Amino acid sequence: MIKIVTLGTAGSTPTKARGLPSIAIVHDGDVYLFDCGEGTQMQMMRFGLNISKVKAIFVSHIHGDHVIGIAGLLRTMALNNRKDGIDIYVPQGAKRPIQSLIFFDKAIIRFPIAIKEIKAGNVYKKEDFEISAFKVEHSVLAYGYLFREKDRLRFIKDRCRAAGLKNTMFSELAKKGSLRIGKKDVRLKDVTYMQKGASVAYATDTRPSVSTVNAAMNCDILIHEANFMESEAQKAMDRKHSTAKEAAGVAKKAKVKKLILTHISARYRNTKEMLKEARSVFANTEIAQDGSAFYLGKGGIV
């Protein structure tokens, strides 16, 4: 089960209801943060995520509303006697500013911090999932991220029972591809199927882009910024952001299962009309609130 928590869903300015940008993906108990706006550590506590479980932070771009929370989060980790290292992934050219942000007051942080500048492509790999970066279109160098589980071989219970498979036969069949049981040859492909891994794409701050469509193609969930409504489409264009309707267009082209809108401007306290605009293009759209949680299981969205 994968849990996605929208910790901060505001645009550049926080409101009483919305904190600055940060998304958490929880996989096998570990937490992966995408952006870390001011107050992210408080939001994690508020919404029940363990700060000590953060393994890596993936920064979309260097604007302050997406990174200032890193300093406070790392200091809290240090005061909690963290020993494990942490990786921070940033666009090229952003390593020095992030170092300055972290160490400006000579804080005593004893655990290893690795700040890694990235290019488009795979940036993080584990046994059962990987995270890749793709360029988006903003006023500074910025990246979106794609979290994708690897496809898994699954046994079909009824067919395995009928074939007489038991105990160590499963692993033996998986290795050999076929197995003699009694008077029959049992083939792996006849008693298994490939379960498609869960996938989540994250794109903010950005204009609607072909790179996002390509990265998010057939994803379970696309988390996309919606800084403006159509009435201010020109501002969205000038400031290199997206409207809710434009984000919905990206979701439609990418054939995703669900669109989650975030990075909502403080000018929109009531988002009913924004949601209406987005759903006119892509029906399965939600506007995230701080603390909204979404789940992906074996069969997709739960």
How is residue 65 written in tokens? 């509303």
User: Which residue's entry shows tokens 């911090």?
Assistant: 113
Beta-strand relationship, 199-203 and 178-181: unpaired
- Burial string for 149-180 (b: 16+ CB within 10 Å, else e) reads beeeeebeeeebeebebeeeebeebeeeeebe
CB 90 within 8 A of CB 59: yes
State the Cα–Cα distance between residues 155 and 188, nearest whole angstrom.
9
Rg (CA), the chain: 22
Torsion angles phi and psi, residue 228, rounded to 5: -140, 165
- Reply yes or no on whether 290 is catalytic: no
Please name the amino acid found at residue 301: I
Count other C-beta atoms under 10 Å from residue 102's C-beta. 19
3-class SS at 112?
Answer: coil
Beta-strand relationship, 2-8 and 292-297: antiparallel
Could you say which of 28, 35, 65, 158 is catalytic?
A: 65
Please name the amino acid found at residue 148: R
Angle formed by the axes of helices 69-79 and 95-103, nearest 10°: 50
User: Which amino acids are annotated catalytic?
Assistant: 65
